[in-house]
């Protein structure tokens, strides 16, 4: 995730900082230590549900999910094992 944020083009320092804050607050506490192959549909959906239950604004939830989704889309081309298909 950090590498994805670091390598983004076309974003300013403020946006990059905001993405890092989202990662630190909403993604890393649950998924930060897991390999990409462990980020299953259930785990990601559970994380989205957890931040929804915290009362985050729908736009924030969409932004966090978008950040995670974009990083996952880059993971396979960078050599990470893809997660298994949804069950």
User: What is the model's pLDDT at position 12?
Assistant: 92
pLDDT tens, residue by residue, 57-78: 999 999 998 988 888 888 765 5
* In the block, residue with structure tokens 């506490």: 29
User: What is the model's pLDDT at position 76?
Assistant: 65
List C-alpha distances in Å: 78 to 35, 36, 45, 55.
Answer: 13, 11, 23, 34
Q: Measured at the alpha carbon of residue 78, what is the angle toward residues 73 and 81, in degrees to the nearest 5?
A: 75
Q: Is the pTM of this model over 0.85?
A: no
On the question of pLDDT at 83 being above 70, the answer is no
On the question of pLDDT at 80 being above 70, the answer is no
């Amino acid at each position: 995730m950090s590498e994805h944020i670091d390598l983004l083009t076309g974003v300013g320092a403020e946006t990059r900082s905001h993405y890092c804050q989202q990662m630190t607050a909403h993604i890393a506490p649950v998924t930060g230590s897991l390999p990409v192959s462990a980020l299953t549909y259930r785990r990601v959906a559970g994380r989205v549900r957890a931040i929804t239950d915290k009362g985050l604004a729908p736009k924030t939830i969409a932004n966090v999910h978008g950040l995670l989704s974009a990083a996952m889309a880059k993971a396979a081309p960078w050599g990470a094992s893809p997660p298994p298909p949804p069950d």
